[in-house]
């Protein structure tokens, strides 16, 4: 072989190791994360009407909703151009419930102890939702304001005055390695993070207040700033003043001030529980600007389905938000039970797309117990 032939062969080899070789790579297989999202299950309440009955317990309504969740495996996702459109549902990586497991124990409402036992019966002991490998999928919980008020007390009478059972139950279920017998609202904060197939899930105690942001800062320091992060909390992002620590007097829970002391951050926007939360929200929006990989905020509390953009008090951020219906206190489904809903969220981690689909799970049709409602696709 002469010198020129040898050089030509080297050039061909180098060319094959670059452009041609890259084109020959096998396309990445779609990497899917899929979960069910609901909130505000409110054990202890009754529903005025449900499936031809009146005054139906939360136990019966939630059993029906859980049964609908189980039956989704094997169904087809609609052909809506979203993630996994027209594909069979092979399973769910998790079921996520963002609080108000129990209802506040005011007049006529059962104790948090009884409510937690009913919740456990439906969603822990009996819920057989499977993942794509046919294994039981994860259940992730965060507390709601009703769970927390039951544990620490409230400015209106409750019976009993305190019952921490749902907070204790949530804590011990989410932290099986820690197991406590007495719940302490300061020591036993219910916040944690989970990674599912490259997506970072952060679960918060009620709202991303200053204490939660300190904890989140440490958590986020352990992941890449290109990793997709999802936040789950009970409260709306434009948080209510009443959730903060009372700024008045001895900073207690009392009938005059009506602050609920549910987060350890003291209210900064004045002294009145009917005020605004501009300072508190601006601090949260600054955190979102700093951590641009936080892509979606999931929450309950207002009891209806909506996919929207939170812009903050200064109209200077665009945070995707997904809120969901309540089976017991739905703003619209309380009057029209065909609007009872939960959400299915499907993420393609390769294309960085998320699609949320509303499942209207209580349909009168004899041929189908559910139908698909609204949908939205979000770029991550």
Q: Where are the domains of the chain?
A: 28-379
Q: ∠ CA(148), CA(150), CA(151), 5° rounding?
A: 65
The CATH number of domain 28-379 is 3.60.21.10:
yes
The confidence score (pLDDT) of residue 168 equals 97
Cα–Cα distances (Å) from 313 to 193, 210, 233, 284, in that order, read 27, 17, 19, 10
* Structure token digits, residue 156: 């209106």
The confidence score (pLDDT) of residue 366 equals 63
In whole angstroms, give the CA distance from residue 330 to residue 324. 9
User: Do 111 and 7 touch, CB atoms closer than 8 A?
Assistant: no
Bridge partners of 353? 348, 379
The confidence score (pLDDT) of residue 365 equals 73
In whole angstroms, give the CA distance from residue 297 to residue 320. 6
In whole angstroms, give the CA distance from residue 258 to residue 369. 43
State the burial class of residue 296 (Cβ atoms within 10 Å of its Cβ: 0-12, 13-18, 19+). buried
Closest CA to 357 of 307, 296, 304, 294: 307
68 φ/ψ sector (left φ>0, alpha ψ -120 to 50, else beta): alpha
User: Do 141 and 95 touch, CB atoms closer than 8 A?
Assistant: no
The confidence score (pLDDT) of residue 368 equals 67
Closest CA to 33 of 287, 247, 344: 344
The confidence score (pLDDT) of residue 251 equals 98
223-226 contacts, C-beta under 8 A, 24 or more apart? 223/195, 225/291, 225/292, 225/293, 226/293
Tokens 């180098």 locate to 14
The confidence score (pLDDT) of residue 12 equals 38
In whole angstroms, give the CA distance from residue 84 to residue 201. 21
Q: Report residues of the chain scoring pLDDT below 70.
A: 1-30, 366-368
Can you spell out the DSSP letters for 164-179? Answer: -HHHHHHHHHH-TTT-
pTM for the predicted model, two decimal places: 0.91
The confidence score (pLDDT) of residue 3 equals 44
260-265 contacts, C-beta under 8 A, 24 or more apart? 260/145, 260/148, 260/149, 260/154, 260/155, 261/152, 262/145, 262/148, 262/149, 262/152, 262/206, 263/205, 263/206, 263/207, 263/209, 263/211, 263/212, 264/186, 264/209, 264/210, 264/211, 265/209, 265/210, 265/211
């Amino acid at each position: 072989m002469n010198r020129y032939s040898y050089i030509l062969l080297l050039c061909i080899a180098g060319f094959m190791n670059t452009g041609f070789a890259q084109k020959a790579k096998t396309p990445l297989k779609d990497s899917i994360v899929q979960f069910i999202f609901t909130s505000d299950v409110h054990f202890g309440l009754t529903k005025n009407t449900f499936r031809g009955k009146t005054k139906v317990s939360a136990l019966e309504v939630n059993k029906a909703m859980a049964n609908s969740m189980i039956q989704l495996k094997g169904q087809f996702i609609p052909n809506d151009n979203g993630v996994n459109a027209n594909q069979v549902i092979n399973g769910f990586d998790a079921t996520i419930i963002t609080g108000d497991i129990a209802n506040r124990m005011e007049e006529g409402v059962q104790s948090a102890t009884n409510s937690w036992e009913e919740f456990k019966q439906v969603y822990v002991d009996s819920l057989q939702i499977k993942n794509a490998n046919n294994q039981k999928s994860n259940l992730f919980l965060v507390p709601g304001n009703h769970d927390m008020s039951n544990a620490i007390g409230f400015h209106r009478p409750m019976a009993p005055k305190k019952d921490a059972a749902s907070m204790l139950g949530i804590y011990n279920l989410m932290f099986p390695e820690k197991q406590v017998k007495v719940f302490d609202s300061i020591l036993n904060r219910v916040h944690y993070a989970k990674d599912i197939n490259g997506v970072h899930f952060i679960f918060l105690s009620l709202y991303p207040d200053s204490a939660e942001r300190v904890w989140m800062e440490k958590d986020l320091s352990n992941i890449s700033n290109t990793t997709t992060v999802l936040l789950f909390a009970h409260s709306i992002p434009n948080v209510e003043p009443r959730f903060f620590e009372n700024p008045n007097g001895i900073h207690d829970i009392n009938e005059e001030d009506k602050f609920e002391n549910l987060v350890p951050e003291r209210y900064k926007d004045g002294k009145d529980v009917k005020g605004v939360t501009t300072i508190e929200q601006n601090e949260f929006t600054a955190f979102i600007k700093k951590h641009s990989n936080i892509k979606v905020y999931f929450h309950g509390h207002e009891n209806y389905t909506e996919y929207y953009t939170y812009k903050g008090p200064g109209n200077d951020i665009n945070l995707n938000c997904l809120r969901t219906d309540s089976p017991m206190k739905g703003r619209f489904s309380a009057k029209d039970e065909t609007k009872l809903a939960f959400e299915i969220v499907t993420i393609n981690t390769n294309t960085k797309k998320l699609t949320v689909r509303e499942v209207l799970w209580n349909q009168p049709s004899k041929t189908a117990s559910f139908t698909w409602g609204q949908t939205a696709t979000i770029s991550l």
